[in-house]
Amino acid sequence: MSSSFDFAPLFPPGLPAPSARWTGLAKYSFVGGNNDSEQVPVDELIAAVDSALRREGRMLATYGLAHGPQGYLPLREFLTAKLKRDAGIACTVDDLLIVSGSLQALDLVNHTLLARGDTVIVEQETYQGSLNRLTRLGVNTVGIPLDDDGMRMDVLASTLADLRGRGIKPKYIYTIPTVQNPTGSIMPESRRAELLKLSAEYGVPVFEDDCYADLVWSGERPPAIYAMAPKGGVIHIGSFSKSIAPALRVGFIVAPWDVMSRMLALKTDAGSGALEQMVLAEYCKPHFSTHVPALTKVLRTKLDTLMEALNEQFGTSAEFEEPKGGIFLWVKLPDNVDTLKLYQAALAAGVSINPGPEWSTSKGHSGSRLRLCFASPTHQQIRDGVAVLAEVCRREFGVPARSANVEKAQA
């Protein structure tokens, strides 16, 4: 061998394209699920980890702290209380599986239920990480359009009937009902009941992703779909990424044992990180219920700043519904704007955005839409970043007109 070893001939078919090298975050970063760094409760987390390690640090010598594959027991105990209080879910620690972020939850649910060629139902606009996974698994996704109350039940009903007519039984109905990603809607209780009725009628389980459900402006949310289904048929997942800190990578799954036991057989990682489970359990028991409302209040002010900045800079060119919580705003630009192209041009100008087509099963509907995360940038970065974005958009697509803000102000 005279030159370097060449791995390329060994790669199997279907491998995704190689990743590019990391070049850091954009100056104005509106992407991903990053949160407000000022709201990380650093002192309390330090105290929590100190206390947990003093008491149980020696157990780090044992995989999973000897608490078994479902995760650190005190964290599961906190979650049973929290899920009961906030989401109306009555479950025990045996119904809970702690995972390495809700992305691992998606993987475990998918690998438990899906095979190549299967069909699942999703919301037409939905989480990119879920869509990408389904694509990689070779699963067909059918998108159901959303309105202000989330997934439209009339379309879901006709879609299920249509699929049945074609001999197709979807493997699940995936929904983010409580602060939908990216649209920010909350599905009302009555619609959740309709969804469960359809689920039971067609024998198709509901896969409920409640990742953002802690961050609701009003502080009130409907019961989880899981809580409304006494006969089961719902898998529920959640996360601490949005409520405490995304870098910690701790999520959870609530599921009946017949599914749980299958997921456990697929969770071959020797347990999720113990230290992060310990610190969360120790911190959350005394602090979660005060931390989250304080965080939500701060996020709400950032949303206001973003909406003001968009109104100022884009005027009527940027349309959006005010989300009911969360960290994202879903924005519609004029039809001639291609947000995939805008993404590239904006990035070159130091602004990163999530282009709509990556968050949707309908490239037509989403082509001129984009998702903006308002939690991570400061108020000033939001204002400055939106100004740069407007400038790039004007240069590339002719909108907004320079006088957009004036038009708006005079309207």
Site for its own copies in 63-122 (CB under 8 A): 63-66, 68-70, 94, 100-101, 103-104, 112-115, 118
Cα 283 to Cα 46: distance, rounded to the nearest angstrom: 9
Quote the distance between the C-alpha of residue 391 and its chain's center: 29
**3-class SS at 63?**
helix
167 belongs to the binding site for its own copies (CB under 8 A): no
380 belongs to the binding site for its own copies (CB under 8 A): no
Cα 346 to Cα 166: distance, rounded to the nearest angstrom: 44
Q: Could you tell me how many residues of this chain bind its own copies (CB under 8 A)?
A: 99
Q: How far is the CB of 236 from its own copies (least distance, A)?
A: 13
Restricting to residues 271-300, name those near its own copies by CB under 8 A: 271-276, 279
256 belongs to the binding site for its own copies (CB under 8 A): yes
411 belongs to the binding site for its own copies (CB under 8 A): no
**272 versus 368: smaller Cβ distance to its own copies:** 272
Cα 209 to Cα 256: distance, rounded to the nearest angstrom: 16
205 belongs to the binding site for its own copies (CB under 8 A): yes
Cis before 230 (ω within 30)? no
Q: At 372, phi and psi to the nearest 5? A: -120, 125
49 belongs to the binding site for its own copies (CB under 8 A): yes
**228 versus 345: smaller Cβ distance to its own copies:** 228
One of 27, 152, 262, 383 touching its own copies (CB under 8 A): 262
Tokens of 333: 């630009």
Restricting to residues 127-156, name those near its own copies by CB under 8 A: 129, 132-133
Burial class (CB in 10 A: 0-12, 13-18, 19+), 93: middle
DSSP at 39: G
Q: Which residues contact 403 (CB under 8 A, 6 or more apart)?
A: 315
192 belongs to the binding site for its own copies (CB under 8 A): no
265 belongs to the binding site for its own copies (CB under 8 A): yes
32 belongs to the binding site for its own copies (CB under 8 A): yes
C-alpha triplet 356, 106, 152: angle, nearest 5°: 55
214 belongs to the binding site for its own copies (CB under 8 A): no
Quote the distance between the C-alpha of residue 228 and its chain's center: 22
Q: How far is the CB of 380 from its own copies (least distance, A)?
A: 17
DSSP annotation string for 380-400 = HHHHHHHHHHHHHHHHHH--S
Query: What character string, x for contact with its own copies (CB under 8 A) and - otherwise, covers 300-329?
Result: ------------------------------
231 belongs to the binding site for its own copies (CB under 8 A): yes
Cα 238 to Cα 57: distance, rounded to the nearest angstrom: 26
**Binding range to its own copies, per CB under 8 A, among 76-84, 214-222, 264-272, 344-352:** 264-272
